[in-house]
A and B are shown apart, each in its own frame.
Chain A
Amino acid sequence: MDRQTPALSPAREFLNGIKAELPILLGVTPFGMIYGVLALSAGFRPFDAQAMSSVVFAGSSQFMLVQMVELGTPAIMMILTGFVVNLRHALYSASLAPSLRHLSPLWKFILSYLLTDEAYAVTIMRYREPDEVGNKHWHLLGSGLALWTCWQLSTAAGIFLGAQVPPSWGLDFTLALTFIALAVPAIDDRHALLSALSAGAIALLAYNLPYKLGLFAAAIVGISVGIWSERR
């Protein structure tokens, strides 16, 4: 029988986390820049636009917020929409919770702050590798900090470059491509494929629900279909 391979050192996991996140940053950088550009054109002061990238630190809700400010949406509706859009992070939190249980509250606070789509998606693949849990939380710290740094710098670049980056180039499309790069390789069997297809179908059908509730509904349906497919 094979012996379990020994756990990697914290430094090794941390560097692997950064390395796993780097390719994803290619898609995140243009998106962060476009966020910075759009925030300024919606009337944000540069400092406020930059602050939002670390206070909220959730790209798609920041994007939506900027568009809603431009439309003059009431504050309470902006908060509610942002909340529902970010509710998917509860699923990430639930899926990582068993693996993070042994950590101190400080670790959990830091890792939760860094728990974005992109850091979660690369680190959950690491947690699925069969070796012991060991120092895998350092992987999340590495991928999370890499993404955080990239998000702050690309926001700053967008604010600095401003109107020199015309939104008509459609650079925000890189976010969709980033999610394709994260989602498609994770579809590794028939159950996952059915889960992805059903979540995608509901996301389209329910797209016009208020407060972006369609996204959360799609996630729940996709997960349920995955379970159903396994049990069938």
Chain B
Amino acid sequence: MSEIWVVMLVLGVLTFAIRLSFTVLFGRWQPPEIIERGLRYVPVAVLTAIFLPELLLQDGAFSFSLANPRLIAGLAAVLVAWRTKNAVWTIALGMAVFLLLGLI
């Protein structure tokens, strides 16, 4: 078996185990009230932590410059998402801005 299959299978099992963790493996665990409150912030905290670096990274370094097309397109998308709460508009307009800036 090639090395990539070993990596794939081990990571597949580990990822499935992570996803099963609290629903099955610790299924009887009753979190304290403060943790239950905190879990409300999982979507906003995790998703923001993923997308923000993606907007700023340019050639391996962070760029806060207005010449960074990802940053401009990302800010436009944040604005659209905030005003419309519409995923199609957010993604489509964000990509349109990004591609247009690439042409300039």
Contacts and interface: CB of A to CB of B under 8 A. Distances in A.
A142 interface: no
B103 to A, nearest CB: 11
Contact of B49 (A26, A61, A173, A222): A222
A83 B34 CA distance: 27
Contacts of A180: 51, 74, 77-78, 81, 90, 94
Given A60-B50, A182-B87, A226 B16 contact: no
Contacts of A163: none
Interface residues of A, number: 88
A69 interface: yes
Contacts of B62: 204, 207
Contact of B16 (A44, A61, A100, A113): A113
Interface residues of B, number: 68
A115 B19 contact: yes
Contact of A170 (B51, B77, B98): B98
B64 to A, nearest CB: 10
A133 B6 CA distance: 40
B15 A183 contact: no
Interface centre among B54, B88, B91, by most chain A C-beta atoms within 10 angstroms, is B91
A52 B5 CA distance: 9
Contacts of A177: 73-74, 77, 90-91, 94-95
Interface centre among A44, A56, A174, by most chain B C-beta atoms within 10 angstroms, is A56
B45 A219 contact: yes
Helix, strand, loop or mixed for chain A's interface? helix
Given A93-B18, A180-B77, A56 B46 contact: no
Interface string B20-63: 11111011010100111111111111111111111110000010
A227 B44 CA distance: 13
Interface of A: 23-24, 26-27, 44, 48, 51-52, 55-58, 60-61, 65, 69, 75, 78-79, 82-83, 86-98, 100-101, 105, 108-109, 111-113, 115, 117, 120-121, 124, 169-170, 173-187, 191-192, 195-200, 202-204, 207, 214-215, 218-219, 221-227, 230
Given A86-B18, A180-B78, A204-B56, 10 more contacts: A44-B4, A56-B11, A65-B11, A75-B7, A90-B19, A97-B27, A120-B43, A179-B51, A183-B51, A203-B50
